[in-house]
Amino acid sequence: MNFLLPKLIAISFCFLLNTLLFAQPEFPFQDPKIDSEERISDLLERLTLKEKTAMMLYNSPGVERLGIPPYNWWNESLHGIGRAGKATVFPQAIGLAATFDEDLIYRVASAISDEARAKHNAAIAKGSYQQYTGLSFWTPNINIFRDPRWGRGQETYGEDPFLTAKLGVAYVEGLQGDHPKYLKAAACAKHFVVHSGPEATRHEFNAVPDEIDFRETYLPAFKKLVEAEVETVMCAYNQLFAEPCCGNKMLLQSILRDEWGFKGHIVSDCWALMDFISHQKVAKDGVEAAAMAAEAGVNLNCGTVYQNLHNAVEGGDISEARIDELLKPLLNSRIKLGLLDYEDQSPYANISPEILNSEEHRQLAWEAAAKSIVLLKNDKGVLPLNSDTIQKIFVTGPTAFDNMVLIGNYNGFSGNLVTLVEGMINKSDEGTIVEYAMGTLLNTETYHGYYHAQSSDVTIAAIGNSRMLEGEEGDAMLTDSGDRTDIRLPENQIELIRRIKKDAPDKPLIVVVTGGSAVALPEIAELADALLFVWYPGEQGGNAIADVIYGNMNPSGRLPVTFYKGTEDLPPFDDYSMRNRTYRYFKGDPLFPFGHGLSYSDFAYEDLAMPSEGSIEDETIEIEFFLTNTSIRSGEEVVQVYVKKPQEHFQMPIKSLVGVQHVWLTPGQKTLVTISIDVADLASWDLSTKQMVINPGAYQFEVGASSASIKLKGGITLE
């Protein structure tokens, strides 16, 4: 054995040396110890023109000679990892918005980013660089949901700029993480900007909002996300002020880069650059379209037009120096994600697949679903049901046993989707009969089984919309381009509720409505004893709805959109003026106002205290009052603060949300609530100085449970 020892030592030394050599970066751009700018400069010097322009395509090929693997930038995580197999399915974005809860959104986004890293790590381990395996996620959608007919409104955080910004920032911070060097994942603010339907003409229409609406409604959420250091901004399909959003220097350079100081990268919406040629007719071919988008500032092309970029350079339409400038933010994003390191140095390298749809994440999905449910009506305290006295429950309706209404769009699948029928079975005791019949289809005039209501103690009828009836262009199979032309439910669904009420007029009728948008429900609201709006509640939706129905969870969801009485209340769909739109400008009488949502608890507001005078230079205004739970049930009140500003221009909103706070109180508990209002959120657009300014004058504040349920009022004069 002794004669083998020197040979073994030599072999071991060679193996160790090779390992150490292999673990060292071959090029400076691969070394995470070097400054990012130096790494980028080193890589740019090594790349050919064709390699540079290829890296500006969403499906970027690898550069084998430099050891750079391919990378597909396209991934989705609207309410869970989408389109990539197993993942926790949280409530659709509009449902998350209904929680009014920044902390919850942050925790959901953080869980999503953990699952993102787990799936990415598993894909890379098997050499997969497919679409939907990367770490750059094109979400959140922070467009203002100005019109309930828009099929993609379900992807947004509602109609209010303040709420949209707060929740959008929370999502970005949760998804991107808080590491000082590495992003856990890259978020994207989309679609920049003034983009909210109609879907049928989204590739060509020209949005022309006036200056005040543009600055006070459409831009603020994007600005807040830029300030929160969102990594990506996606430009929209449509035109704005007669220029394509993805070729609009005013948008992408003057506002986004120069005015706001955005440092990340800009991605085109998918195949939007082709619209320059085919729909908007502003470019004659791919070379001209590529040069136009690049000159405007688009760093990354979701599509194929940037295949022409090297030809644009060789033809003199754009310089290689400009290509280098556009490529720098993309390379920086890859560095921040750890994708150019010689080996994975990120703190997320060891996140394993066990976290995917883990018990902890399923519980979070349940919490989010339960907190998103909005109790619109509860006559005579029908809810919560008393499980000790209920012997038979009849569940019916086209959405009661349909897992499609759980997931909305841009979704993943968990393998644990719980429908309303299954939720009621899960939460009902062994002595309670739960009977089910579909009753009717989504929009077909056939009815059956509703007669079971006569022999049941209570009927739960689940109706509403699904991704079959509303969604993105081409996704919704039963509507025109994904939008709804009428915000009422299909007539057959209303008829089902009529028949149930007629056959069992003395039995409690609970109506559960699914959907991603405001629905006109005047007749349903009249017929139902209790009315719940549950959005597209995610994989735990059935359990969460049942827990609210039984009182295991006290509802705290609030409407992030106004519920109108009918389509006739709405201005023309393609009119981008905010006049008579949303609670901020609507002069009519809504069916259910923005911020509305009932609880099983009652709360009393008392003794508002706030300063009567202040300065426009102040950072905050402190509002205090006492809140008491006057009921026998613990519950959470979602306190909302609205402001009425001095009349500085002809388009001042009626009121605007400027504060939200969740307060949990036990029966009889009284607490002092303090809400800090950021003075910066009181700003208005000044037409003369072309700036957002805080005007001196009298500001009236309203504190309450919704935009219409105002409990306390106070004022302050700012000088």
Strands 239-240 and 374-378: unpaired
Strand ranges across the sheet with 710-718: 613-614, 710-718, 697-704, 635-644, 656-665
Which domains does the chain possess?
39-354 (3.20.20.300), 359-585 (3.40.50.1700), 603-718 (2.60.40.10)
Chain-centroid distance of CA 75 in Å reads 15
Integer Cα distance of 120 and 116 in angstroms: 6
Integer Cα distance of 171 and 287 in angstroms: 37
pLDDT given for residue 649 in this prediction: 76
Integer Cα distance of 48 and 53 in angstroms: 9
Integer Cα distance of 9 and 545 in angstroms: 67
Residue of 160, 269, 402, 547 marked catalytic: 269
- The yes-or-no verdict on residue 317 having pLDDT over 50 is yes
Integer Cα distance of 529 and 509 in angstroms: 5
Mean of per-residue pLDDT scores for the chain:
96
Integer Cα distance of 181 and 346 in angstroms: 9
Q: Are 64 and 391 in contact (CB under 8 A)?
A: no
Q: Residue 17: how many CA atoms within 13 Å on its side-chain side?
A: 6
Integer Cα distance of 719 and 711 in angstroms: 27
Integer Cα distance of 114 and 105 in angstroms: 14
Residues 119-153 pLDDT 10s: 999 999 999 999 999 999 999 999 999 999 999 99
Q: Can you tell me the mean pLDDT for 655-683?
A: 98
Residues 541-578 pLDDT 10s: 999 999 999 999 999 999 999 999 999 999 999 999 99
Two tokens, residue 83: 């389109």
Q: Are 53 and 72 in contact (CB under 8 A)?
A: no
Chain-centroid distance of CA 611 in Å reads 36
Which DSSP state fits 465?
A: -
Backbone CA torsion sign across 474, 480, 483, 484: negative
Q: Is 269 a catalytic residue?
A: yes
Residues 391-431 pLDDT 10s: 999 999 999 999 999 999 999 999 999 999 999 999 999 99
Q: Which helix (H) or strand (E) holds 340?
A: none
The helix/strand/coil state of 35 is coil
Residues 276-290 pLDDT 10s: 999 999 999 999 999
**What proportion of the chain, given as a percentage, has pLDDT over 70?**
97
Residues 2-42 pLDDT 10s: 444 444 444 443 433 344 334 689 999 999 999 999 999 99
- The yes-or-no verdict on residue 484 having pLDDT over 50 is yes
Which of 538, 569, 554 lies closest to 603 in space, CA to CA?
554
Q: Are 408 and 457 in contact (CB under 8 A)?
A: no
Backbone CA torsion sign across 401, 403, 404, 407: positive
pLDDT given for residue 9 in this prediction: 40
Residues 33-74 pLDDT 10s: 999 999 999 999 999 999 999 999 999 999 999 999 999 999
pLDDT given for residue 23 in this prediction: 66
Q: Are 245 and 195 in contact (CB under 8 A)?
A: yes
Two tokens, residue 72: 């597909």
Integer Cα distance of 598 and 600 in angstroms: 7
Alpha helices in 61-182 (DSSP H): 93-97, 102-125, 161-176
Integer Cα distance of 466 and 408 in angstroms: 7
Q: What are phi and psi of 72, to 5 degrees?
A: -105, 115
Of 170 and 20, more confident? 170
Q: Can you tell me the mean pLDDT for 443-450?
A: 95
* C-alpha separations of 47 from 53, 186, 201, 626 in Å: 10, 24, 40, 64
- Per-position DSSP letters for 473-506, written without gaps between them: TTT-TTSSTT--S-SBPPHHHHHHHHHHHHHSTT
pTM here is 0.96
Q: What angle do CA 216, 219, 224 make, to 5 degrees?
A: 105
Alpha helices in 317-444 (DSSP H): 320-336, 359-372, 404-407, 420-427
Two tokens, residue 312: 């644009």
- Strands (DSSP E) contained in 438-587 are 458-464, 509-514, 530-535
Chain-centroid distance of CA 635 in Å reads 26
Q: Are 74 and 132 in contact (CB under 8 A)?
A: yes
